[in-house]
A and B are shown apart, each in its own frame.
Chain A
Amino acid sequence: MSAVAAKPVGLWGRLCAGSTVPVLTIVAAILIAWYVGVLALNAPFQRMLYANAGVADYSVSDFVAATMEQDRPVLPSPQQVAREFWKSVFTVPITSKKSLVYHGWVTLSSTLLGFVIGSLLGIGLAVLIVHSRTLDKSLMPWVIASQTIPILAIAPMIIVVFNAINITGIIPKALISTYLSFFPVTVGVVSGLRSPERLHLDLMRTYSATTSQAFWKLRWPSSVPFLFASMKVGIASSLVGAIVGEMPTGAVAGIGARLLSGSYYGQTVQIWAALLTAALMAAVLVTLVDVVDRAVRRRMGVRS
């Protein structure tokens, strides 16, 4: 680290000074590491295949190409995952059980439902906590403690119990997402509602503003940035909740069910394609919240 940062020179210099080229480099490094991993992990099985088939004089390039295209590889190569992803997203009709769009939608719907309930619950709790000293002292420690309980461990129980009283489908899964997403929202909004300075709150007092006026005109607007920051965390954990909610109960649809069936039948390519879908969904959801965040802030007159 030089004391005086050198002015970036030329297009290349400017790209390197930003984060585009570094990020691309890291991604490329990950891909290379992936290919090396494919070769290393699949080689023993490939050698065995050749030995069983009695092939002795194979060239190195043949061997490498073969490790990239095994049926049930230990680690599938990126192009296999991409091909599987393409096949199960675009070529299969979306109503089919093989379509990742179908499974993605099942997961997405419970993610979104859980996220909406969780955010509303989080905001409600935060408003109560900020306005009642008793709740602040008694409830807040439990909100924090609630997250040390590994809720995902209860996921199978929640789903089985709800099945027993004839509530099936989206609600139990959404409840797990709710539990995971209310916490960041509560904590974030509490600190947001407390973020106005003493001076501003005193000003509201000199205007003889009521509690609700002070809330709507001062506390709520100043909590908006905190709300969105915590909703970004919340929606990501909602997705985790929905996926794990689908895993342990023999659910037939959803990304989690896809992971589970892939693991039962040793379909590694299928597992990786489902993981890729989950990653893309997480990225899209977080980006969406970010876009809304920016739009709201612009409407509120914040210059970025």
Chain B
Amino acid sequence: MSDLVAVRRASLPLAFLVQLAAIAFALLAIVLFRATEVGSVPWVWPLLFFGWMGAWWSVTVITARECEAPSRWLSLLVPVLFGVWLLLLWEALVTGLGVPPVLLPPPSAIGHRIVTSLPLLAADFRQTFLKSVLAGYGLGCSIGFLVALVADRNPFLRRGLMPVGNFVSALPIVGIAPIMVMWFGFDWQSKAAVVVISTFFPMLVNTIAGLAAAGRMERDLMRTYAASHGQELVKLRLPAAMPFIFNALKINSTLALIGAIVAEFFGTPIVGMGFRISTEVGRMSIDMVWAEIAVAAVAGSLFYGLISALERLVTFWHPSQRRR
């Protein structure tokens, strides 16, 4: 693949130029599809295809140059271009093939819907993310962490909790959503409860595994320093456990959002992302559903990104964080 049409000799400016031309081709194709009847301009398809091929070639060149001289901007640009092309092709295919918007609305319609119904989306976001997810996530992760600290002091408890925790982590926890709604009512507390339970076990299992990660040698060293249990924990074993703890925090960020949204299928006050999704599906206004999904995806990605940034800050010493 790397020898595809003179990739070796092509320079970055040329690649950027080709990329811009390719995006222009695709935009032109979309405008033509929009302006005409479905199927009346078959010659636009090759236009789109060549645009796509040009974009692929350009990205191949950029990747090759990036490997020769690593740069942050280029390594960020490549996935961004991929995303841009995903949206362009989506828009072009939906408009060009005349897919009814009830099945799959084009990205432009979704964008329009997001801009026009910002207050509603903000209210749903506040209800689902700021209340249920954050409360449940914070509570579930901290309880899991504290129980792991207790279990770590007691080998008997640890050996008992590990298999049970691993088992429960594999269970479909979202199934308890109806029960939590019955117990804690329709408001955000029941969703937070689902989130607490689904985030607790991954945190517990990972923290226990992480606390066992410090090496024999380092621990013996701490002993020769006559370090107390607390000192050993704070100076050696918690730092060594951090990669595991952040792993759990990352897994939980996705689980929390899923748990809160699914729990809303079982009853909410008339606000919330899950509520909006299930009612708008019923009314067949699919663009609103996609708008909610876009908000959820952006919120989920930002949440994940925030935790990753924090992880880089805390575990800068770990091999997985080293620059290649």
Contact = CB atoms under 8 A, between A and B. Distances in A.
B172 A23 contact: no
Contacts of B186: none
Contact of A23 (B164, B293, B304): B164
Contacts of B181: 263
Contacts of A78: none
A23 B160 contact: yes
Chain B interface: which size bin? Answer: 35 or more
Contacts of B56: 134
A263 B180 CA distance: 10
Contacts of B258: 150-153
Interface in B270-307: 273-274, 277-278, 281, 284, 286, 289, 292-293, 296-297, 300-301, 303-304
A263 B264 CA distance: 13
B36 interface: no
Nearest to A240: B172
B278 A282 contact: no
Interface stretch (A52-60, A200-208, A270-278): A270-278
A22 B156 contact: yes
Interface stretch (B25-33, B61-69, B240-248, B309-317): B61-69
Interface on chain A toward B: helix, strand, loop, or mixed SS? helix
Contacts of B18: none
Contacts, number: 172
B262 to A, nearest CB: 5
B104 interface: yes
A57 B77 CA distance: 77
Contacts of B82: 138-139, 141-142
Contacts of B66: 137
A161 interface: yes
A1 B155 contact: yes
A282 B172 contact: yes
A26 B161 contact: yes
Contacts of A278: 171-172, 175
Interface stretch (A94-102, A221-229, A243-251, A293-301): A243-251
Contacts of B289: 154, 157
Contacts of A274: 175
A133 B64 contact: yes
Interface in B57-93: 59-60, 63-64, 66-67, 75, 78-79, 81-83, 86
A302 interface: no
B103 to A, nearest CB: 5
Most B CB contacts (10 A, CB to CB) among A132, A150, A278, A283 go to A150
Contacts of B257: 148, 150
Contacts of B162: 19
Contacts of A25: 156, 160
A152 B265 CA distance: 11
A268 interface: yes
Interface string B103-114: 110000000000
A140 B273 CA distance: 28
A138 B79 contact: yes
Contacts of B2: 133
Interface in A138-181: 138-142, 145, 147-154, 156-157, 160-161, 164-165
B261 A153 contact: yes
5 contacts: A19-B162, A26-B160, A140-B79, A262-B178, A286-B170
Interface of B: 1-2, 56, 59-60, 63-64, 66-67, 75, 78-79, 81-83, 86, 102-104, 153, 155-164, 167, 170-172, 174-176, 178-179, 181-183, 223, 253-254, 257-258, 261-262, 265-266, 273-274, 277-278, 281, 284, 286, 289, 292-293, 296-297, 300-301, 303-304
